[in-house]
Structure 1
Amino acid sequence: MVTGSRYETKVVLTRPLSVDGDSDIDYRAPNLSQRITSLFKSVLPGSDLTRLKLPPLFNYPKSHLQCYGETVYCIGSDMLSRCNQADNSIERFTSVVAWSISTLRPALFGCAPYNPILGETHHVSRATLNVLLEQISHHPPVSALHATDEKQNIELIWCQHCVPNFHGAWVETEVQGKRQLKLLCRGETYEMNSPNLLIRLLPMPAVFWTGNVRIRCPENGLEAELRYGPKSSFLGLRGSHRSVKGKICETSTRKTLFELNGHWDRTVTMKHNDSGKQTVIYNAEEVLSGLKAPIVNDPQGVQSTESAAVWRELSMAIMSQDWEKAKQAKNAVEEKQRELLRERESKGATWVPQHFSVSYSKDGGWDCSPTQQWVPPAPIVVPLS
C-alpha cells in the first residue's frame, strides 16, 4: 500500500508474513538453483556476511527493522497484555514464555529484508502499545527497539546484533544481544535471548530457527530453557524444523516445574510435572492468522527516516517486478549513505542515535537504553478490526 501526497512523506507498507509464510508480496524470483549458485560465487566459507550486498532479486519489500517491529505489534491475539494480567507469578512467567514463542515468524528461503541504513527508524502503534526502532550501528548492524504501553505498564527494550557466517552448505545467523520485558507495576524484569536462523543450501534448501533460548526473571526466581529445531540431526535433515521443547524450573533449586513441547507454528503445551496436567499455552493459528498491514494515520507525522519511506522506491519496484529500477533505487539509497559518511568524516563528526544511548564492551557486547521514558503514539498504526 502506498500513501501520502507531495507535501507528505510517502511510504510503502505490506502485510506481514502469516504462520504459513503467505504475504501480499507477489513477484517471480529467478530459478532457485541459479540464486544458490550466485551465492556460492559471491562468498567463501567463513566470510563476514554482514558486508554482503544482496541484489534486489533476493529482497522482499521490508526492512529488517519492520520485521523486528512486526513480531511485537502485528499479532492476532494480545499475548503481551496477558503477561501483566495474572496475579500469580507462575502464570505471569508462563505467559511471558508463550509471548516469547509468538515473536518467531516464518522465514522465506532465498529472500531477505533490506539491511537498515544508519539512523533508519520505524515507529508504529497498536492500540495503546507504541513501538519505536532505530538502527544504531551499520557496521556491524545493530538494531534497537523500545516499546511501551502506559495502560498496561509494560516496557520492552531490545538490542540485537545479527552475525551471519557462511559455512559452505549452510549459513547460520547468530542473533546476539538481549531482550528485556518489564512488567513495571509488578517490579519484574524478564531477560531472554533469541534463537539463531539457519539457512541450509545443500542438500535440500530450507530455512528454520534453531538453538537454545533462556528466559529468566530474578524477581520471581523462575527461568525457562527452550530448544528450537532438531537437536542432533545433521543440518536439520531429520526431525521437525519448527519444534520447540523445554522446561520451566526454579532458579534456586533447579527443580523442574513444567515441561514444554510442541511446534511454534502450531501449538505448544505445558505439562505440570507433579500432576501431569497438560495445558495449551500457545496456539499459532490464533496469534498469527489474519494479520493486517499497518496503515498511515497521520501522514504529516511520518519521519523521513521511517523504514517504509527510506525504501519506498525499492519496494515499489520489487512489487512491480521492475528489477532494473529496483537496482537503481537500492543503489541510490546506499550511495546517499556513503555521501553522508564522507561528509561526517570530512568534518570529524560522530553520528549519534536519536532515540537511544548506546554502549559497547568486549565482554558485554552492544547495549542500549532509550532516551525517553515512554514511546509516543506513532503516525503509523495497526488496524484492530
Structure 2
Amino acid sequence: KMEESEVKLLNLSRNGRHLEILELLDAHPNIDINCKGKSKSTYSWTALHLASYFGHTEAVKVLLSRGANPNIRNHTGDTALHKASLTKREEVVHCLLEHSSNPTIANDDRKTPSQVASDIAIKNVLEAAEKVHVLKETEKFLQCLLGFRISRYGSFVNMDTPDEHGNTALHHAAMRDQRTIAIVLLQHGVDPSKRNKQGERACDVTMSSQMKKILDVKPVRQNHNMVQRFEGPLMKKKRFLSPRWHWVVLERGVISYFARRADAAVGSKRRFFKYLTESTVTTREDNNHGFVVRFFDGSFHHLMVNQSNKPLINRQKWVDAIREHAEYSNHFVAADNVVDSDSESDDPIIPIIDIKNIVQTAEVHQKVLQTHVEHLTPLIQNFCFHPGQLMPTHVLGKCHEILGSATDMMKEFQMCLNVMQRQEQIRESKLLDECERNRVLQQSLQALATQHHNLELTIESQAGSASDEDEFYDAISGDSDDEDDVMNFEDVSLVEADEEPKYHAVTRGDYDPTINSDESQSKSETSSLAPVGGHRDRLACPMFSRDEFSIWHILRQCIGKELSKITMPVIFNEPLSFIQRLCEYMEYSCLLERACNAEDSVQRMEYVAAFAVSALASQLDRLGKPFNPLLGETYGYERSDLGFTWVSEQVSHHPPVSAFHATGTKHPFTFHGSVHPKLKFWGKSVEIEPRGWVTLHLKNPDETYTWTNPKCSVHNIVVGKLWIEQHGVMEITNHRTISECYIILHPCWFKNDLNKVEAKIIDISKQTVRILEGDWTKHLYSFSVDAHERFVATATQTNNGTKQKSSRKKTQNSSTSSDDIASFMTSQDDDVMCRCLWEVQERPDWSVEMYNMTRFAMSLNADESKGHAPTDSRLRPDIRALENGDIDGASGEKHRLEEKQRSARKARGKKKAEWTPRWFERRTNDATKSDDWIFNEKYLDSDWSKCPDIF
C-alpha cells in the first residue's frame, strides 16, 4: 500500500505544482521520489513520468534536482524521455538530457525516444544525443583499455570507434604490447586494417615482432550452421474458449507463444512453449488459412494465419518452417556425439546465406501453384465432356489464380538469380569461416606460447644463482641458442636423441641399483625380472629421425577437437597398438608372484603397490604415440617364463575403450580392467587421463585390489624439449581387509620433485603401518614408520652439513636418492625396517634407436608363427610396415584401415546394427559394484570363425 505522501507527490507532479512539490519533499525527507503509482490513471508511472508527459518543466527540474532517476521504465518499458518526446515537450527533453537521461534505452516495442518522437526538432536532438552517448561510452572503454581494465567494462560499445587521433582500441593495445587484449579484440571482430589519422594500422604502431604476428590476421567472420528463426502472429484455437492471437516464435526446434512481439524480442513473459521433436503438420483443402501441429506427446495445436493477407502463402511458410525446425530437433535429439573429424558423415557444411529466404518463398509459390493445378485438373476434365458449353466462371477464376501464382514465382526466381550472381564471390569465404577462426587462434597461441617460453627462460636464468636443489625445473635444453629456440619453434623436433636436456628424466648412467645391506638378494630379484631367452629384445629396423617434424604443426590444426580422434602422421607413432602397450602392465609380473607368496596382508599390499608403480616405468621417454586400435582388434600374449597369459580387445570406438584380462600361470591371480583415455590440450602440454578401474584378484589369500591409473602429461609441445611426467594420486584398496595404500606422484615443479613417489599403507583403523618412497623410473622402497622418521632425520642432517640453504626446503621435498637409502640401509640390522620392493630393469644400449622401448616392449609385436586370432594386432599391416622401416607403406595402410573401418560403421548404421565385442561382456564388477568389461573366456577356445575382417 502506498503512503499518503507518495500519492500526493504523484498528483502534484501530474498537475505541475512545483512549489508544493518542494514543500512536500522538505516535509517528508524519506519519501520515495521514484515510487510508482498503483491506481488506474497512474499505474506504474513515476512522478517524473507524469511531469514529463504533461510538459511541466519546472516540476521536472525540481524532481531531477532532488534525485529522481530519469531512466526508470514503466510497465510498457517507457522512460520519462519517451513520454516527453511522444507529447512534443522540447524543453522537458532538453532538461532530461542535461540530467543524464539515456537516449538509447528501448521500450517493449524496441523503440528509442527518437523513434517515438513525432516532432522533427525533438527527433534531431535525440538522434544527436544518441550519437554523443555512444561516443562517451566508447571513450570510457578506451580509457579502461588504457588502464588495462578491459575485463571490468561490460557495456556495449563499437570497438572499432576511434578516438580524437583516429586510434582504435586495437591501436592502443598494439602501442603498449598488450597481446592478450589484442587477441580478445580480434576475437570480438575488431578490424586490424583500420587506419588512424596518420594512415597507420595497428601493426604499424608496434615494435614487437610477436604483436605483429598477432595483428597479421583477418578479423573473425561469423559462420551460421543453424536453423533460421521464424516468427509472426498466429491465432490458436482452444476447445472451450474463443480463439486467441499470439506472437509465435520458432527457434532451434522450439515453438514459443508470447502475448506481444516486444515480449518475444526480449524473451520475457513467454506464455508457453513446446518442443517440436517428432512433431508433424497437417492441412485441410477446405481451409486455406488453418493447420494442425501434432506433438510427440500426442497433443494438438490448431493454428490459423491472418486471412486478409495472402493466407495460402503465409500458411505454407509456417508449415515449411515448422517442418524444418522439427527436422532440426530430431537430428540433435538422435545424435549421441558432436560431429568431428572422425565422423562418418561426409556431407560438407553449407552456410546459410541471404538467398535462402528467396528460395523458400519461391518454393512456397511453387507448392501453391501445384495445389491450384490439382484443383483445376478435374474441372477441365468435366468441361471436356460438354464441349458445347461456355467455360464456367469459377474455372476461369482458377486459371487467373494459376497465372498469378506463376508470375509471382517467376519474379522470385528472377530475384534469386540476381542474388546468386552477387553471392557467388563470397560463398567460398563463408565455407572457410571456421578455418579462419582456427587460424586466428593458432597464430595467437603461437605468439603467447613464445612469450611464455621467454618468461620461463628469464625465471630459469634468475634461478641460476641459487642452489641446484632450489632451481626451477624445465626440460628445455640449456646449451641451445635461446633465440633459435624462440624464433624457429615451428621446426622444433619431436625427439632429439643426440641432445640431452638440462635435467633429463633418466639418469641411469650414474645410478647403482644394488643395495649394500642386501646385495645378493637385490641382484637375484632384479635378474628374475629380465626376459628369458626365446623372446626377441630388438626390433627389425631402427626408428626414423623426427628432427624434421614438429608435433605443433599437427596439433595447431586440431584446436577445439577431441585429441583421441586426431589422425596423426605415422612418423609420430611407435610400432605398437594401444592394446599391446597395455600389456606392459605385466613386465614386472613377478611382483604379483611375490604378493601371492607373502603371508602378511601388509606385505601383499606393498608388492601390489610396487606392481602399480612399476607399470609406469616403461613410459619413460616413450614419446611415440601407439596406434589407435581398430574396433574389434585383439591381442593375445603368453609368457610362461613370467607366468601369465594376456588377452585384450578394443570394445568401443567412440568413446575409445580397451578391455584387458591377464591370468597367472605359476600362481593363481587374475588382473583385469578397461581403459578409456581422455586427452586434453593445454596449449604447451597434452594431458592424458586413463579413466577406468583396474582390478587384481589374488586367489590364494582370496583378496581383491582395485585402483585407478594416474594422469600423464607431455610437456613442451610448442617450444622446447618434450618430456613426460606422471602425476596424481593412486588409491589402492584391499576389499577384504579394508586397508588402503595412497600413492602420490608429485608434479614436477622443482628438481627434487622429479619423478618422486610417496605412499602410505593404512590399516582398517586408519593407522599408518608402512611408508613407501621412491622414483617411478627407478625403484620403490618400503620403510617402517620409525625407520622412515630416522631416515628423514638422517637426510636432513646430511643436507644441513653440505648446504646451509636447507631452511628454504621442506623436509618432505628431500630427494629420495638410491645413495641416501643405500647408506641408510647399511646402518640397519633388520631387513623389515627398510627393504627394496622393486628396481627397474636397465634398458639395452640400443633402446634409444628402438623408440626407447624396454626389452619386454620389443617382444610384444614379434611375428610369431602361432595361430593367433585374425584380429590380432601382430597382423596389422601398418604397424608391421612401420616396424620394418616402411614409412610410406605404413601411412598408406593406416589410411586404408581407417577408411575400411568407416565403411563398416556406415554399413552397420544403415542396418541399425550395434557392435558387440567378441571376448568381453558388459557386466557388474563385483569389487567396485559398477559396470565394467569382463572377460567371457571364449577366447580360450580358439574359435576364430566369427571374427570380423578388420585388416
1:346 and 2:859 are equivalent in the alignment: no
* Counterpart among 755, 768, 779 of residue 256 in structure 1: 768
- Residue identity matched to 1:54: M
| Cα distance in 2 for residues equivalent to 1:52 and 1:366 | 28
Partner of 2:691: 176
* Structure 1 position 283, deviation (Å): 0.9
Which range moves more in the overlay, 208-217 or 368-377? Answer: 368-377
Residues 1:48 and 2:562 are matched in the alignment:
yes
Q: Which moved more, 1:113-122 or 1:196-205?
A: 196-205
Counterpart of 2:909, as a letter, is E
In structure 2, the partner of 1:283 is 839
User: Do 1:224 and 1:248's aligned partners in 2 also have CA atoms closer than 8 Å?
Assistant: yes
Mark the CA change 1:365 to 1:135 in structure 2 (over 3 Å): closer, same or farther: farther
Whole-angstrom distance in 2 between the partners of 1:369 and 1:109: 29
Compare the two structures and name the one with the higher strand fraction: 1
- Does the 8 A contact of 1:84 with 1:152 survive in 2? yes
Structure 1 segment 73-84 matched on structure 2, within 5 A: 74-75=587-588, 78-84=590-596
In the alignment, what sits opposite 1:15? none
Match of 1:303 in 2: 869
Question: Corresponding residue for 2:317?
Answer: none
1:37 aligns with 2:552: yes
The aligned counterpart of 1:326 is 890
Q: Which runs of structure 2 are paired with 1:155-170 in the superposition (5 Å)?
A: 155-170=670-685
Unaligned runs of 5+ in 1: 1-17, 379-385
Distance 1:184 1:376 in 2: 23
Q: Which amino acid aligns with 2:902?
A: R
Counterparts of 1:166 and 1:272, CA distance in 2: 41
CA drift of 1:289 comes to 6.7
* In 2: Cα distance, 1:209 partner to 1:94 partner: 20
Match of residue 317, structure 1, among 878, 881, 884: 881
* Partner residue in 2 for 1:185: 700
SS of match in other structure, 1:308: helix
Q: Which has the larger radius of gyration?
A: 2
1:108, CA displacement in angstroms?
3.8
Which runs of structure 2 are paired with 1:35-114 in the superposition (5 Å)? 35-44=550-559, 47-72=561-586, 74-75=587-588, 78-104=590-616, 105-108=618-621, 110-114=623-627
Whichever residue aligns with residue 835 of structure 2, its letter is T
Letter of the 1:350 counterpart:
E
Q: Per-residue deviation at 1:306?
A: 0.2
Whole-angstrom distance in 2 between the partners of 1:271 and 1:358: 40
Query: What amino acid is the match of 1:148?
Result: T
Change (3 A) 1:355 1:40: closer
- Residue equivalent to 2:745: 228
Which digits, 9 at most, give the CA deviation of each residue in 1:4-61, with x for residues without a partner? xxxxxxxxxxxxxx997x96362223326x41331342222x5421111111111111
For the aligned residues, what is the CA RMSD?
3.1
Structure 1 pair 181–119 and aligned structure 2 pair: CA distance change class (3 A): same
8 Å CA contact 1:161–1:366 kept in 2: the answer is no
**Which residue in 1 is equivalent to 2:656?**
141
Structure 1 contact 153–185 (Cα < 8 Å) conserved: yes
2:735 to 218, 221, 234: 218
Q: Secondary structure at the match of 2:654?
A: coil
Structure 1 residues 347 and 53 mapped into 2: Cα distance closer, same or farther (>3 Å)? same
Q: Which residue of 2 aligns with 1:5?
A: none
> Does 2:935 correspond to 1:370?
yes
C-alpha separation between the residues in 2 aligned to 1:37 and 1:91? 46
Q: Name 1:7's counterpart in structure 2.
A: none
User: What's the CA shift for 1:151?
Assistant: 4.4
- Report the counterpart of residue 544 of structure 2 in structure 1: 28
Shift of residue 173, structure 1, vs aligned partner? 0.6
Instruction: Identify which of structures 1 and 2 has the higher relative contact order when contacts are C-alpha pairs closer than 8 Å and 6+ apart.
Output: 1
Change (3 A) 1:204 1:298: closer
Secondary structure, counterpart of 1:327 in structure 2 = helix
User: Quick one: distance in 2 between partners of 1:369 and 1:98?
Assistant: 25
Q: Tell me how far apart the structure 2 counterparts of residues 207 and 281 of structure 1 sit (CA, whole Å).
A: 24
2:873 partner amino acid = S
| Distance in 2 of aligned mates of 1:274 and 1:41 | 52
Cα gap change, 1:338 to 1:366, in 2 (>3 Å):
farther
Q: Name the CA distance, whole Å, in 2 between partners of 1:126 and 1:37.
A: 39
1:272 to 761, 784, 787: 784
* Residue type at the aligned position of 1:303: A
Distance 1:375 1:206 in 2: 40
| Residue pair 1:175, 1:195 contacting (<8 A) in 2 also | yes
The letter for the 2-side match of 1:215 is I
Offset of residue 358 of structure 1 = 2.1
Partner of 2:92: none
Greater shift in the superposed pair: 206-215 or 58-67:
206-215
- Write the letter of the residue equivalent to 1:111: G
- The answer (yes or no) to whether the contact 1:147–1:375 under 8 Å persists in 2 is no
2-structure distance, mates of 1:19, 1:305: 39
Structure 1 residues 364 and 136: alpha-carbon distance in aligned structure 2, compared to 1, 3 A threshold: farther
Shift of 1:135: 0.5
Residue 149 of structure 1: CA displacement? 2.2
Please name the residue that 1:116 is paired with: 629
Q: CA deviation at 1:88?
A: 1.3
Q: Distance in 1 between matches of 2:854 and 2:620?
A: 16
Distance 1:91 1:168 in 2: 43
Q: What do residues 313-358 of structure 1 show as CA deviations (whole Å, max 9, x unaligned)?
A: 2234323443322211101111111121122112221110111112
Q: Tell me by how many angstroms 1:204 deviates.
A: 4.1
TM-score (norm 1): 0.81
Aligned-pair CA distance for 1:372: 2.4
Aligned in 2, Cα 1:364/1:197: closer, same or farther, shift over 3 Å?
A: farther
Percentage of matched positions with identical amino acids: 25
Report the alpha carbon displacement of residue 359 of structure 1 after superposing the two structures with TM.
5.9
Find the residue that maps to 2:918 and give its secondary structure.
coil
Counterpart position of 2:646: 131
User: Do 2:554 and 2:568's aligned partners in 1 also have CA atoms closer than 8 Å?
Assistant: no
Q: Is the 8 A contact 2:614 2:840 kept in 1?
A: yes
Q: 1:158, 1:187 → 2: CA distance?
A: 18
Q: 1:373 to 1:302 in 2, by over 3 A?
A: closer
Deviations 1:82-136 (A, max 9, x none): 1211111111111111111121122446420101011110001111421100011
Report the alpha carbon displacement of residue 274 of structure 1 after superposing the two structures with TM.
3.6
